[in-house]
Amino acid sequence: MKKLLVILGLLLVAFSFASSVIVVGTTDKIRTLDPANCYDYFSSNILQNVLAGPVDYEVGTANIKPWLFEKWDVSSDGLVYTFYIRKDAYFEDGTQIDANIFKFSFDRVMRLNGDPAFLLSDVVEKTEVVDKFTFKVHLKSKFSAFVSILGYTVAFPVNPKVTPEDRFSDIAPSASGPYRISEWIRDVRIVLEENPKYFGPKPKTKKIIIQFYENSQQLRLALETGEIDIAYRHLDPRDILDLQNVSGIKVYLGASPQIRYLVLNVKQKPFDNPLVRQAVALSVDRSAIVKDIFVDLAKPLYSMIPAGMWSHEDVFPKRDLQAAKEILKIAGYSEKNPLVIDLWYTPSHYGTTEADVAQVLKSSLEETGMIRVNIKYAEWSTYVEYFLNGTMGLFLLGWYPDYLDPDDYLWPFLSVSGAKSLGSFYENQIVEDLMVAGRAATNQESREMIYKLVQNYHAAEMPYIPLWQGSADCEAHDYIKGIILEPTQIFRYYLLERK
């Protein structure tokens, strides 16, 4: 009898542990968890589950709602925002979040000037502490989508007690959101545990373990064997289709504002020649990428603003090899004197399909008979360093929105500060002035007219070539509930639970 009770007790403990833990697998990587220098999707998404921000999105929508800021006022000229901070928000060590914390965090972002800093520094003139729970932000110019920026992690406050003021942090942040980080072994696993200091609803599951895998084959095997409960980023597209027919596994598919594109460094030869950029744009075969690699789980894209978002317009030309050849001839190239270029990609950050994408691009460009492509690659941390310092002339990148507004698909790419951060080094004062006017306009019709004009400038000068618009996906055992593929691309670990 005693032995039976012990066995039952062990079973109950095992069941209790299993029901309070969910294991997620991914092939993505964390670059940094310092909001001041965090500008890749997966790292930002971890922060969205660990830190509380000024504002959030209503679950499943693109509608902004209060979070740390309970409410706000805007001056009549649109240049001064006054934010009122809730009084029950604390970091995990008990430090209260107040106006001084926000000033420290905003000023630190702008002073350190990391990758996403321009989102604030291009807009914010100065910050001001009015009183303990009132924070004021003065803008350089009117910007109708300013509050939307505050939903991105660059604006999330950090704890001054553990965050260096004069340099980036390389450790896990002090939590203020639903979860705290109890363990982080880079590229191996990160463990999120319920944060008892969080003022909001408790997570549905107390502990989330995120395991990192080298490739999509390992990730699929881990899911099918039950080593993980959820696979999130990045399975091979064909595996996604296969898993739809596997008993006990559910595949979630959704629309996504994620875009993929080529960057052309306009300061580096031969891409400083607009004729070369036009020839490349006319040679790329979007259809081959979408059909052969992504089995139609993606769509060709002809603007940096994704299809389905207001002001989107197909401004880029479709493939025309003959036109590409004629332009190459004008630029001085021929079959005997081909244009020789390097095409860069990163092998794991965007999943295992990236090498195939690079190969299709190489083949499509070389179909002109007048272009020769050398494929090169670098792992993500090196890749970021290369495009920031201008090492690469032509390379693949992807974009997940910081905030759901057409401005976020134009300003980060075409403003001088944004273009430098993304490696194109593009400069055009007319385009910049137009985007400033678009930011100041409060009428959507006026903004749409301006943004369509900006898209046409972009299509004429081509510092970026849009390639395809992706879809969102997640694969999980059918006992997992709470998976929502949101238009904002926020994956909310704290909603996951076993049923």
Same domain, 382 and 447: yes
Q: Identify the three-state secondary structure at position 252.
A: strand
Same domain, 100 and 149: yes
pLDDT above 50: residue 14: no
Beta-carbon contacts of residue 103 (< 8 Å; ≥ 6 apart): 127, 128, 129, 135
**Count of CB atoms within 10 A of residue 323's CB?**
15
Is 39 within a domain?
A: no
Considering the entire predicted model, what is its pTM? 0.91
Cis peptide before 270 (omega within 30 of 0): yes
Condensed to tens digits (0 to 9), the pLDDT of residues 89-103 reads 999 999 999 999 999
Same domain, 446 and 480: no
Q: Provide the domain limits for residue 231.
A: 2-29+176-254+472-498
| pLDDT for the residue 281 | 98
Number of domains in the chain: 3
**Count of CB atoms within 10 A of residue 248's CB?**
10
Measure the CA–CA gap between 68 and 85, rounded to whole angstroms.
6
Question: What is the residue whose two structure tokens read 């190459």?
Answer: 328
In 3D space, the residue among 267, 257, 307 whose CA is nearest the CA of residue 463 turns out to be 267
Q: How confident is the model at residue 16 (pLDDT cuts 50, 70, 90)?
A: very low
Q: Mean pLDDT across the chain, nearest whole number?
A: 95
Is 38 within a domain?
A: no
Q: How confident is the model at residue 12 (pLDDT cuts 50, 70, 90)?
A: very low
pLDDT above 60: residue 179: yes
Condensed to tens digits (0 to 9), the pLDDT of residues 446-457 reads 999 999 999 999
Same domain, 231 and 98: no
Same domain, 368 and 223: no
Q: What is the CATH number of the domain that holds 8?
A: 3.40.190.10
Condensed to tens digits (0 to 9), the pLDDT of residues 356-394 reads 999 999 999 999 999 999 999 999 999 999 999 999 999
Same domain, 72 and 20: no
- 347 touches 384 (CB < 8 A): no
Is 21 within a domain?
A: yes
Selected residue with higher pLDDT from 442 and 200:
200
